Amino acid sequence: MALGDTHRRVTEVALRNAGQVVVVPAAGAVGAGTFGAVAELLERGVTVLWESGAAFLEPRDFAEQQALTLEHFGISMQQPIDVWPRSEWRRASVESKNRGAREVRAIGHERVPYVAYRWPREAHVRDFSRVIPVSAEDGRAIAHWGDVSVAQRKPMGTGTLIFIGSPIGPTLRAGDPDAVSLLGAMIRVAAE
């Protein structure tokens, strides 16, 4: 899942010696103290790339992350959306058994859900799981799954929060050049 380990807990200790850009990967069950520490970094001018892993939490834990995200970051998260409906996934699996590799790739490509990023550069990155619709009153949508905003960039204090509700870690691990280039561009622009 996501940029780091499944449901990784980010600790305040990891944030103490933060540089100008902090990446919080796979932020699943994150406590209020960590949200507060990240908010303080943002106030001090740090750029934070927060990849939410909340879509993979139990409903009660998701609701807690939803409340903390709104309270500390001013980001509204809606319920996660499965980008691979189970019936289509099963149908694609059955159909793929009956076709050659060349046909499966061509047909599969049409069914693979992509997130369209518009900042810091245009890129289409595959999504293997779920997306979280996100919005912010003073934010700017930087990525969409269809018409749904799944990533926001917003100023906070003297810093900038880049909040991603669609995990890009799986595509990074798969070596997807668009995902690698996009993450590199985000970090470069944030460090400027």
CATH at residue 124: 3.40.50.880
> Does residue 6 belong to any structural domain of this protein?
no
Look at residues 185, 174, 8, 161 and name the one whose alpha carbon lies nearest to residue 74: 161
Per-residue pLDDT, averaged over 165-189, amounts to: 91
- How many distinct structural domains can be found in the chain? 1
Which range of residues forms the domain containing residue 110?
A: 12-191
> Does residue 1 belong to any structural domain of this protein?
no
Between 80 and 20, the higher pLDDT residue: 80
Query: Residue 170 — pLDDT band, cuts 50, 70, 90?
Result: confident
> Does residue 7 belong to any structural domain of this protein?
no
> Does residue 143 belong to any structural domain of this protein?
yes
Lowest-pLDDT range, 5-9, 76-80, 162-166? 5-9
Per-residue pLDDT, averaged over 41-69, amounts to: 96
Q: Is 49 exposed, middle or buried (0-12, 13-18, 19+ CB in 10 A)?
A: buried
Note whether 69 and 77 are within 8 A (CB): yes
> Does residue 123 belong to any structural domain of this protein?
yes
Mean pLDDT, the chain, as a whole number? Answer: 82
Q: What is the pTM of this model?
A: 0.80
> Does residue 5 belong to any structural domain of this protein?
no
Between 183 and 89, the higher pLDDT residue: 183
Look at residues 49, 98, 56, 109 and name the one whose alpha carbon lies nearest to residue 80: 56
> Does residue 37 belong to any structural domain of this protein?
yes
> Does residue 106 belong to any structural domain of this protein?
yes
